[in-house]
Amino acid sequence: MPDDVTPRPESAPAEAEIEPILTVPPVVGAPKPNPMLVVDDLSRSFGGLRAVDVDHLEVERGVVTALIGPNGAGKTTLFNLLTGFDRADTGSWSFNGEAVVAPSPDQLARKGMIRTFQLTKSLAKLTVLDNVLLGAPSQVGERLSAALFRSRWQHQEQANTAKAEELLERFNLAHMRDDLAGTLSGGQRKLLEVARALMADPMLIMLDEPMAGVNPALAQSLMGHIAQLAFEGLTVVFIEHAMEVVTGISDWVVVLAQGRVIAEGPPWKAIHDEVVIDAYLGRRRAGAGS
Amino acid sequence: MDFDIIFGNAARAAFGPEAVILALAAIGLNVHFGFTGLLNFGQVGFLLLGAYGTSVSVATFGWSLWVGVVVGLILSVALAVALGFPTLRLHAVMFAIVTIAAAEIIRILIGSTDAIGLTGGPLSVSFDAGAFYDLNPYPDGPHDRYGVGTFEFTGQQMWVITVGWVLVALVSLVVFLIVRSPWGRVLKSIREDEDAARSLGKNVFSYKMQALIIGGVIGGMGGVIDAIKTSGADPNGFRPQVTFFAYTALLLGGAATYLGPVLGAILFWFLREWIESFLRQLSAEAWLPGAVADFLSGSEGIISVAMVGLTLVLLMLFRPQGITGNRTEMQLDAR
Ligand SMILES: Nc1ncnc2c1ncn2[C@@H]1O[C@H](COP(=O)(O)OP(=O)(O)O)[C@@H](O)[C@H]1O
Ligand SMILES: [Mg+2]
């Protein structure tokens, strides 16, 4: 379908070669060339409300996918289901080619699926540095048998600290490394949580409204950093409810409304989709009218 | 009114075996509650099993005292596992309820008349702790005393408290070493937000279980010291208030600090004994109106516990972080 291989407009980050994702037709449930996540018939209801009801969704590996949709669309619930923090009523999904059975959050995280939370979960009584160090995967010192002997974990801890400091530097938090995380502002806590998630060396990072409350300049640099990581192979899914901001920083956009995927495609296409505009405007009109 | 005697009594209580036992109970609770956020209201159950494991092994089965000590500690581990498996995945409040109930059930079973053959039932159990006192390096003649003025111990007491405080020091050191490690960082993250820990790949259940076992065994050590000190065990010594005294000591000293539970236990016994001795002397004063003296005499112990409780209330109001705690850390709770 050659007319789907739309050239990128000026605003999109220029790249040397055309990514495989650009060959994917912008239709709901479209198969991807190299999917990291494949979701089938996933549903979750709260009482009579169907919060999530996804027939088929694939998330391409190594690109930035934005999950957008009006408030209450089910974006966070979808994240909760996929990461094992909530139980689906029906459905199945696979991560990195492996079917996810009996999902448990910590197991999925150890396999490389790391998520952040819309309501930040920075650990207030740990220092900023300790928050990030907690993200480090397979630290031997986290095993009781090794914990007693500093020599067993000290080297790894030093290496982790160097890496953590680099991340803090990137997110403008280095000067606060020894402060308790509880003293940070809301936006800084969001950044801290992203830094901590990146510390875990994820294959797939799922960010729930990472830019909410973060000052715009910093948000830009945050997403720039994330785009760079995607370029290096990280798969990124991030939630955002304002559709305007996703254009410059995502390769693919999935639009959710009332639990269902109503559109997906490259950003310049997806957000101009009739259905999407209706979903957003419909919401706004209803909101303004009541 | 003889303040020398009051002070002597208080100081003896503050450094005597009771304070050692309380310190161990509180250090264990600190691992549970202070560092991991586990609301264990049944700490006394671990002390009970430590004490009865030791006593019954020697008195009923005729094993050596050292085997008894090991049995007591193994039973503490078993209690932690038995409590943890069904409840650690539940809400913190459920865990609290189950722990307090379990400890009380064990105490009632052990103290029931049906258990007389095994545990001595309501009659308590006693054994010969000679194997421990044989090692006593302190001369223990009828006139040997150690200390200054009214603050003095017998040779036997000196041996118990020497071993006891060395144990407290060692246990505190081990707790310090494991909690300042990455393992301890995971515990603290669980205390604050289990889901955050899970989202970073930590097996929360496993860490809670490890903390429960470690804190339980430390409590069990307190029970072992108790059994050795009294050469036996009595079900009445393991009522739920023991757990609450341990919480008082922990909060007095400062939860989630390394020395807090130890300082708290010392202070708890010092205050409690000082007030009790003071009241005892006061009730004997001639100038006291008869009605007041009648009210006081015989109730000194209860009143002194109430006063310690009042101290705790005041402390929570004016210095909620305890003596050694960190105020800024405390205030982050409010955010
Ligand atoms: N735990 C819950 N119990 C009941 N209803 C819920 C729960 N979580 C989410 N919902 C409802 O499900 C819908 C989707 O919520 P959510 O996934 O948070 O939306 P979004 O993140 O897209 O704003 C909303 O209507 C919300 O009220
Ligand atoms: Mg949301």
A95, A116, A125: which to substitute to probe chain B, counting the most B Cβ within 10 Å? A125
A8 pLDDT above the threshold of 80: no
| Average pLDDT score over residue span B9-36 | 97
Fold of B3-330: ABC transporter involved in vitamin B12 uptake, BtuC (1.10.3470)
For residue A241, which of A262, A206, A273, A210 has the smallest C-alpha distance? Answer: A210
Q: What is the pLDDT of residues A72-84, one digit of tens each?
A: 999 999 999 999 9
Q: In sequence order, what are the residues at sequence separation of 6 or more whose Cβ sits closer than 8 angstroms to the Cβ of residue A141?
A: A147, A152, A153, A156, A157, B181, B182, B183
pLDDT at A282: 67
> With an 8 Å Cβ cutoff, are A85 and B195 in contact?
yes
Residue with the larger pLDDT of the pair A5 and A37: A37
B130 pLDDT above the threshold of 90: yes
Q: Is A143 on the interface with B (CB under 8 A)?
A: yes
Question: Which residue in chain B has the smallest CA separation from A200?
Answer: B200
Nearest CA to ligand 1 atom 1: A46
Longest dimension (CA), chain B: 69
A236 pLDDT above the threshold of 90: yes
- Tell me the whole-structure pTM to 2 decimals: 0.92
pLDDT at B333: 61
A16 pLDDT above the threshold of 70: no
Q: How far apart are CA A64 and CA A149, in angstroms?
A: 41
pLDDT at A281: 66
The complex scores an ipTM of: 0.89
B334 pLDDT above the threshold of 50: no
pLDDT at A6: 46
Percent of all residues in chain B with a pLDDT value above 70, rounded to a whole number:
98
Tell me the chain A residues in contact with residue B332 when contact means C-beta distances shorter than 8 Å: 124-125, 180, 182-183
Q: What is the pLDDT of residues A174-221, one digit of tens each?
A: 999 999 999 998 889 999 999 999 999 999 999 999 988 888 888 887
B27 pLDDT above the threshold of 50: yes
**Which residue among A44, A46, A256, A283 has the greatest number of ligand 1 atoms within 8 angstroms of its CB, and so is best to mutate?**
A46
Tell me the chain B residues in contact with residue A147 when contact means C-beta distances shorter than 8 Å: 177-178, 181-184
pLDDT at A245: 75
pLDDT at A257: 93
**Any idea where the domains of chain B sit in the sequence?**
3-330
Q: Residue A228: which pLDDT band, with cuts at 50, 70 and 90?
A: confident
Helices (H) and strands (E) in chain A, counts: 9, 10
Distance from first CA to last CA of chain B, Å, rounded? 50
Residue with the larger pLDDT of the pair A246 and B16: B16
| Average pLDDT score over residue span B35-50 | 97
Specify the range with the lowest mean pLDDT, choosing from A14-28, A176-190, A201-215, B153-167.
Answer: A14-28
A241 pLDDT above the threshold of 90: no
Q: What is the pLDDT of residues B276-309, one digit of tens each?
A: 999 988 888 888 888 888 888 888 888 988 988 8
Q: Residue A18: which pLDDT band, with cuts at 50, 70 and 90?
A: low
In a 13 Å sphere around the CA of B255, the CA atoms on its Cβ side amount to 24
Tell me the chain A residues in contact with residue B174 when contact means C-beta distances shorter than 8 Å: 148
Contact predicate B58/B120, CB 8 Å: no
Question: Which residue in chain A has the smallest CA separation from B209?
Answer: A144
Nearest CA to ligand 1 atom 26: A72
B197 pLDDT above the threshold of 70: yes
Residue carrying structure tokens 């289901």: A81
Report which residue type is found at A107. Answer: Q
Out of B188, B201, B329, closest to residue A137 by CB: B201
Q: How far apart are CA A204 and CA A201, in angstroms?
A: 9
